[in-house]
C-alpha cells in the first residue's frame, strides 16, 4: 500500500519548502514553556508521565541526543509533521491547482503548530498516527487480513502512547461500524494493542493512576457557561478564522455513500465536536483538543470547496489574508529583537536573557520556583542549572510530584521565584516582561515524604475531629523545630487555607525520626468552610507554603453525632 501514490515531484517541492521553513523557525524560535516541560520528561525516560503518555518524551529524547538546542528538541516532530502534510496532500489528490491545495491546508491555524508545524507537542505524533490509522483502516474494511491487522495494532498503540485522545478516535470509529465487533481481526488488533500497552498500564498501576485521575477527575469544575462559548469560538477559529464558514458549509455536503471509511470520518469529526461541547460545561476546552480530526475535516471538505468555483474563489479571498498574517506572526515569535506586546508571544519570549537574569539574582544559590510547572524546564534548558519545584496546597499536581527532585535541595539555601498571581507585593520585572516576587529560604526542608493518614472520624455540629497519623518515609529526620516551621492545615479545594497549626505545637515534638509515626487528635472547624457539604483537603506545608502530602475528606460521608 503506497500512501504517497498521488504525489508528484511538484508536491515534494512544496513539502521540502515547508520542511525547510519549519527547520528555520525551530532554530530561531525560543522553546515554548510546554515543550520544555516535555524536555524535562525526556531527562528521566519512563513508560508514562503525569500528564501524558511517553511518545512526546521519546521523540524529544531522540532529537536532543543529536543536538542540544531548540532545533534538536523539535527535529523529529518536524519530520513527523512533514510526513503528515504529505499524507494529507496524497489523500486530497490534487494535481492541478497546487496553490489552492497548499492554501487550503495551511489555512487551518493548527497546521502551523500542532499538525504540520515545528513545536514538540503531544498532538504532533497523535495527528500523524491518527491519520495513518484512518488510511490503513480504509484498507482494512475493504480487505481485512492479518498483515493489515498487525500494522493497525502497532499504529493504535502508537496513537495511545502519543495522547489519550486516541481513545476517542478509536471509540468513534468502532461506533461507526459495530459490525467490526464480529471480526476476528478486530479482536486480534485489540489483543495485540493491549499487549503493546502493558508497560504503560503497569507504570500507571505503580504510580496509582496519576494520568487518569488528573484528566478524568482533578480537572473537573462546576458548570461555567463561559467555557462553552469559549469552546465553540475556538473550534470555529481552528477551522480557519474566516474560511471556517466555507469549511463547515462543505461539511454539510459530505456524504457517506455506504462507505465504512467515510462513515468513520464523519463519526469522528462530529463525535469530537459533540464530546468536547458536552465537556465544556465542566472544563475549559483548549482549541487544540480536537487537533486529531483536523486532517479528517480537510479530507471531508476539500473536494466540495475545490470543485465549486464560487466557494473556491471565496475561500481564497477569506484564507489568503489570514495565512499571510500567520506567517507574519511566526516571524514575530522567532524575533526576540521585537518586543512582546501583552501576552502575544510571552511563552516564547526572551527566555535566555530572562533565565540568566534570575541566575544572576540567585548569586550562587540553588533556585526554586513556586506554583509554576513551566519554570524548571525553562531555567534548566537556558542556564544548565536545575530547579526545585515548589507548590502550595491548592496548586495542580504535575510530573514534579512524582519525582524526587526536592531531595536535591534538602538543607540548602534556596533563591525562590514566586509568580505575581501568588503574591503581588514587592514585585520585580524580568526581561521578558513578567513580574515576580523572590524570597530566600535559608534552609530548605521537604515534607514530600511525610505521609498523612486519618482515622476515627467524629462529626459534630461545629467540627470534624480526626485521628491524624504522620509517617516519615524520607530516610532522614524531619525537624519540626526548624526555620521551615512545618504546619498542618485544611482547605476547600482551589482556595487558600482556612487554618494551619504548627506541627511542633500539636505534636509536642522537635522532630520525627525516619520510619517513625506520630499520631494526634485534630479538629476541623466547619463554620470556617465555604460549603461544609463538599470535600476538604487536609495537608502539611512549610511556612513558605510548600506542600507536603494531601488527603481529601468528603464530609458528606459522615453523619453528625
The pLDDT-based confidence of 283 (bands split at 50, 70, 90) is confident
| Confidence label for 222 from pLDDT (cuts 50, 70 and 90) | low
Q: What pLDDT is stored for residue 264 in this prediction?
A: 97
Q: What is the pLDDT of residues 311-344, one digit of tens each?
A: 999 999 999 999 999 999 999 999 988 988 877 7
Q: Which residues contact 204 (CB under 8 A, 6 or more apart)?
A: 48, 210, 211, 212
Contact 458, 465 (CB under 8 A): yes
Taking the CA of residue 467 as centre, how many other CA atoms within 13 Å lie in the half-sphere pointing to its CB? 6
For 116-144, the pLDDT digits (tens) are 999 999 999 999 999 999 999 999 999 99
Q: Is the pLDDT assigned to residue 160 strictly greater than 80?
A: yes
Q: Which residue reads 497546487 in cell numbers? A: 98
Taking only the tens place, the pLDDT of each residue in 451-460 is 999 998 888 8
Place of cell 476539500: 302
Question: What would the mean pLDDT of 251-255 be, rounded to a whole number?
Answer: 95
Distance CA 484, CA 503 (A): 11
Beta strands in 381-508, from DSSP E residues, in sequence order: 387-390, 414-419, 428-429, 435-441, 450-459, 463-472, 478-479, 487-491, 499-502
Domain 450-557 has CATH 2.60.40.10: yes
User: What is the predicted pLDDT for the residue at 396?
Assistant: 86
Q: Is the pLDDT of residue 495 over 70?
A: no
Q: How far apart are CA 412 and CA 483, in angstroms?
A: 12
At 373-428, the pLDDT tens digits run 899 999 999 999 999 999 998 888 899 999 988 988 999 999 999 999 888 898 99
DSSP 8-state assignment for residue 281: T
* CB-facing half-sphere around the CA of 90: CA atoms within 13 A: 20
pTM: 0.92
Note the pLDDT of residue 46. Answer: 96
pLDDT band at 224 (very low <50, low <70, confident <90, very high): low
Give the residue extent of every domain in the chain.
Answer: 9-332, 351-441, 450-557
- What is the model's pLDDT at position 219? 57
CB atoms inside a 10 Å sphere around CB 420: 14
- Provide the phi-psi class of 456: left if phi over 0, else alpha when psi is between -120 and 50, else beta: left
Contact 426, 407 (CB under 8 A): no
Q: Is the pLDDT of residue 152 over 70?
A: yes
**C-alpha cell at position 33:** 514553556
Dist CA 48 CA 493 (whole Å): 26
Mean pLDDT for the stretch of residues 363-380: 94
pLDDT for residue 265: 97
If we measure between CA atoms, which residue out of 163, 266, 278 comes closest to residue 232?
278
Q: Which of 104-118, 120-134, 342-356 shows the lowest mean pLDDT across its residues?
A: 342-356
User: What is the predicted pLDDT for the residue at 531?
Assistant: 59
SS3 content of the chain, % helix, strand, coil (to 5): 50, 15, 35
Q: Which residues of 529-543 are buried (b: 16+ CB within 10 A; e: fewer)?
A: beebeeebbbbbbbe
Map residue 535 onto helix, strand or coil.
strand
pLDDT score of 250: 97
pLDDT of residue 282: 82
Mean pLDDT of the chain: 92
Amino acid at each position: 500500500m503506497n500512501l504517497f501514490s498521488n504525489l508528484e515531484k511538484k508536491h515534494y517541492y512544496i513539502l521540502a519548502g515547508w520542511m525547510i521553513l519549519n527547520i528555520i523557525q525551530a532554530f530561531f524560535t525560543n522553546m515554548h514553556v510546554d515543550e520544555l516541560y516535555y524536555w524535562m520528561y525526556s531527562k528521566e525516560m519512563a513508560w508514562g508521565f503525569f500528564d501524558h503518555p511517553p511518545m512526546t518524551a521519546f521523540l524529544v529524547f531522540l532529537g536532543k541526543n543529536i543536538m542540544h538546542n531548540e532545533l534538536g528538541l523539535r527535529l523529529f516532530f518536524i519530520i513527523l509533521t512533514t510526513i503528515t502534510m504529505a499524507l494529507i496532500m496524497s489523500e486530497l489528490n490534487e494535481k492541478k491547482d497546487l496553490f489552492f491545495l497548499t492554501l487550503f491546508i495551511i489555512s487551518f491555524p493548527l497546521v502551523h503548530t500542532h499538525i504540520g508545524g515545528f513545536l514538540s507537542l503531544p498532538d504532533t505524533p497523535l495527528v500523524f498516527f491518527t491519520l495513518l490509522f484512518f488510511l490503513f483502516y480504509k484498507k482494512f474494511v475493504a480487505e481485512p487480513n492479518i498483515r493489515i491487522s498487525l500494522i493497525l495494532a502497532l499504529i493504535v498503540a502508537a496513537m495511545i502512547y502519543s495522547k489519550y485522545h486516541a481513545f476517542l478516535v478509536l471509540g468513534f470509529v468502532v461506533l461507526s461500524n459495530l459490525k467490526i465487533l464480529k471480526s476476528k481481526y478486530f479482536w486480534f488488533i485489540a489483543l495485540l494493542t493491549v499487549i503493546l500497552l502493558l508497560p504503560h498500564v503497569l507504570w500507571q498501576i505503580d504510580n496509582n493512576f496519576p494520568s487518569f485521575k488528573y484528566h478524568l477527575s482533578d480537572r473537573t469544575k462546576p458548570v461555567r457557561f463561559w467555557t462553552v462559548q469559549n469552546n465553540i469560538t475556538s473550534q470555529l477559529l481552528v477551522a480557519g478564522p474566516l474560511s471556517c464558514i466555507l469549511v463547515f458549509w462543505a461539511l454539510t455536503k459530505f456524504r457517506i455513500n455506504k462507505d465504512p471509511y467515510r462513515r468513520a470520518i464523519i463519526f469522528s469529526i462530529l463525535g469530537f465536536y459533540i464530546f468536547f461541547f458536552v465537556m465544556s460545561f465542566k472544563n475549559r476546552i483548549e482549541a487544540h483538543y480536537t487537533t486529531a480530526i483536523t486532517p479528517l475535516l480537510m479530507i471531508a471538505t476539500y473536494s466540495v470547496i475545490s470543485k465549486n468555483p464560487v466557494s473556491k474563489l471565496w475561500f481564497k479571498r477569506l484564507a489568503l489574508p489570514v495565512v499571510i498574517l500567520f506567517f507574519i506572526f511566526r516571524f514575530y515569535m522567532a524575533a526576540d529583537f521585537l518586543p512582546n506586546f501583552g501576552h502575544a508571544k510571552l511563552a516564547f519570549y526572551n527566555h535566555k536573557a530572562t533565565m540568566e537574569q534570575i541566575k544572576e539574582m540567585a548569586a550562587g544559590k540553588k533556585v526554586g520556583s513556586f506554583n509554576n510547572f513551566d519554570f524548571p524546564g525553562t531555567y534548566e534548558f537556558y542556564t544548565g542549572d536545575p530547579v526545585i519545584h515548589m507548590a502550595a496546597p491548592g496548586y495542580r499536581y504535575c510530573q514534579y510530584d512524582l519525582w524526587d527532585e526536592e531531595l536535591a535541595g534538602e538543607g540548602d539555601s534556596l533563591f525562590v521565584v514566586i509568580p505575581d498571581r501568588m503574591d503581588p507585593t514587592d514585585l520585580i520585572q524580568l526581561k521578558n516582561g513578567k513580574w515576580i516576587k523572590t524570597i530566600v529560604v535559608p534552609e530548605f526542608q521537604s515534607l514530600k515524604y511525610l505521609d498523612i493518614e486519618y482515622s476515627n472520624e467524629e462529626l459534630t455540629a461545629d467540627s470534624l475531629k480526626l485521628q491524624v497519623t504522620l509517617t516519615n518515609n524520607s530516610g532522614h529526620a524531619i525537624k519540626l523545630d526548624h526555620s521551615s516551621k512545618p504546619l498542618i492545615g485544611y482547605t476547600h479545594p482551589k482556595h487558600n487555607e482556612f487554618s494551619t497549626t504548627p506541627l511542633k505545637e500539636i505534636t509536642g515534638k522537635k522532630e520525627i525520626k525516619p520510619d517513625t509515626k506520630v499520631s494526634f487528635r485534630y479538629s476541623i472547624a466547619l463554620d470556617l468552610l465555604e460549603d461544609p457539604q463538599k470535600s476538604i483537603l487536609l495537608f502539611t506545608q512549610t511556612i513558605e507554603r510548600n506542600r507536603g502530602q494531601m488527603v481529601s475528606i468528603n464530609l458528606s460521608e459522615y453523619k453528625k453525632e
